[in-house]
């Protein structure tokens, strides 16, 4: 019987390899973790998932420049200086540990051209939970092919809550810069963290999601 190979963007390295990748990038230092602690935490996590460092330990603003496509580093769009204020959507069941593992993410290509508001309802109906921005960035750090031209994704599990308790109308996303506007021509082809309006549709943006999150040993360095 012939089997269809999994798309490249859906194949995750093992957790130990993911830990080594984060260490190579210096994420453990940003998060105040030792390399050994990160490796031990990865060894304790459920196999097959994606290792995530909580944004409370390693903010997205520090991780986005570590993204890379074609030798071009990632960046956050100029009008998203408040990127670290995009926290998990109220009601999401998030681990409180600095390190956790999510079940293998799906890019949600079949939801392209849905609005974030519409997609959130659909994902909930499917028993899935939307990826947060930090989780999406970690996925792209481990599997750069998760971001492909014309096949990128939103991370609507993160929203910014305003002073009056209302959700900011922006929803974060990861895609590839066209090198136009304030991005600058030198950033053409680079992975970028940006945003879209919650009520708008985009044919080239899916909605990344997972099925569960699992806390793992914190591994935080003792003083």
Tens-place pLDDT, residues 20-55: 999 999 999 999 999 999 999 999 999 999 999 999
Mean pLDDT of the chain: 92
CA atoms within 13 A on the CB side of 67: 31
What is the pLDDT, as a whole number, of residue 117? Answer: 95
Query: How far apart, in whole angstroms, are the C-alpha atoms of residue 67 and residue 37?
Result: 23
Question: Token pair of 198, please?
Answer: 């919650």
Question: Token pair of 189, please?
Answer: 């082809």
Q: Which SS3 state, helix, strand or coil, does residue 85 take?
A: helix
| DSSP character at residue 27 | H
Category of 172 on φ-ψ map: left (φ > 0), alpha (ψ -120 to 50) or beta: beta
pLDDT digits (tens, 9 = 90+) for 200-211: 999 999 999 999
pLDDT digits (tens, 9 = 90+) for 83-109: 999 999 989 999 999 999 999 999 999
* Res. 222: pLDDT tops 80: no
Percentage, residues of the chain above pLDDT 90: 89
Confidence of residue 223 (pLDDT cuts 50, 70, 90): very low
* Res. 2: pLDDT tops 50: no
* Res. 13: pLDDT tops 70: yes
Question: Token pair of 166, please?
Answer: 């209302």
Question: Token pair of 129, please?
Answer: 């939970």
pTM across the whole model:
0.93
CA atoms within 13 A on the CB side of 204: 10
Query: How far apart, in whole angstroms, are the C-alpha atoms of residue 26 and residue 83?
Result: 20
Question: Token pair of 146, please?
Answer: 């998760």
């Amino acid at each position: 019987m012939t089997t269809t190979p999994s798309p490249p963007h859906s194949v995750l390295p093992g957790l130990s390899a993911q830990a080594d990748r984060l260490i190579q990038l210096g994420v453990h230092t940003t998060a105040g973790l030792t390399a050994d602690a990160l490796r031990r935490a990865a060894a304790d996590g459920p196999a097959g998932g994606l290792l995530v460092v909580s944004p409370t330990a390693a903010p997205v603003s520090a991780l986005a420049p570590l993204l890379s496509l074609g030798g071009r580093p990632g960046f956050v769009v100029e009008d998203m200086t408040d990127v670290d204020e995009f926290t998990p959507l109220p009601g999401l069941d998030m681990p409180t540990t600095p390190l956790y593992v999510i079940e293998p993410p799906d890019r949600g290509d079949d939801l392209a051209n849905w609005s974030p508001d519409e997609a959130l309802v659909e994902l909930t109906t499917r028993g899935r939970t939307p990826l947060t921005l930090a989780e999406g960035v970690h996925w792209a750090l481990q599997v750069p092919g998760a971001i492909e031209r014309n096949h990128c994704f939103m991370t609507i599990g993160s929203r910014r809550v305003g002073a009056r308790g209302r959700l900011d109308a922006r929803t974060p996303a990861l895609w590839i810069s066209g090198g136009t506007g304030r991005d600058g021509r030198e950033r053409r082809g680079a992975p970028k963290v940006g945003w879209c309006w919650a009520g708008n549709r985009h044919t080239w943006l899916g909605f990344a999601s997972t099925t569960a999150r699992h806390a793992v040993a914190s591994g935080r360095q003792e003083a």
